[in-house]
Amino acid sequence: MTTASKLFRSSHGYISPYFVVDVDGNLITKTLTITGRRLELTSGASLSYNGTDLLSPTSLGSSVVNILGTLTGLNVAGNVSLAGTGTISLTPTGTVTVNPTVTGNIDNVNIGAATPRTGKFTTLQTLNNVVFDGTGNISFPTSGSVTIAPLGTLTIGTAGISNSLLGNILATTLDQVINFSPLGTGTITINPATTGTLDNVTIGNTTARAGKFTNVTLNSSDEQWGSNRSQAVTKRYAENSTMIAYFTGS
């Protein structure tokens, strides 16, 4: 058999029943066109290896998409679907930006579980436990109102740690009980910078203690209640008792 030592060449191209080589050296077959810069498939054709499709005009074969590899860049103009049974990891040495033009969803994902960062929300709703666990400050600088209304017990503060309330305090609950009763060696101090009022409250009814006043006014419709030595007397009862004692000599 004679072996050709020179490449097949024609200055006017070449035509056969199965392929065409034009004057520029482009190879054109029934299903494939190869030029110096591209490989083009005709409609319905595909590239395959060992009977398995690798590439068609509209899709990549399963043997291609299942091959692990590294891309230096990826720009997708259409829909992107990542639906596999494995792990999807986005760990660039740069940054990751997710910024759709319309509102989307992120479901069933822990955010900041390993390395938390700042988050901003227009509305935040939690359906389970809420834990503020950190060394920084927690601030609610809203121009609106803040409502904390649990169906269970509300606990504020930690034993031994002071809690400061800098604004006005208003407790006007309807048909509810307000109870200040620290246990152990705890005390209650009420010491306003200006004079306040205490109305409709019985003081010392169960456990009486000392009291000091600048002025005391006693109002009673029954003057005789002052005969109980454990109680204070009204001014009029004391005057009447002094006058009776003076005239009776008792």
Residue 53 has a pLDDT of 82
Closest CA to 25 of 51, 49, 7: 7
Smallest Cα–Cα separation from 20: which of 33, 6, 4, 7?
33
What distance, in Å, lies between the first and last C-alpha atoms of the chain? 160
Residues 6+ apart with CB under 8 A from 36: 24, 25, 26
The reply to whether the predicted model has a pTM over 0.75 is no
pLDDT at 130: 84
Say what the pLDDT of residue 230 is. Answer: 61
Report mean pLDDT in 10-residue bins for the chain, 250 residues.
61 74 79 78 81 81 73 81 81 89 92 89 87 82 86 87 87 88 89 92 89 79 56 68 63
Output the pLDDT for position 166: 87
CA distance 53 to 170: 76
User: What pLDDT score does 106 carry?
Assistant: 92
pLDDT value of position 229: 60
Model pLDDT, residue 233? 65
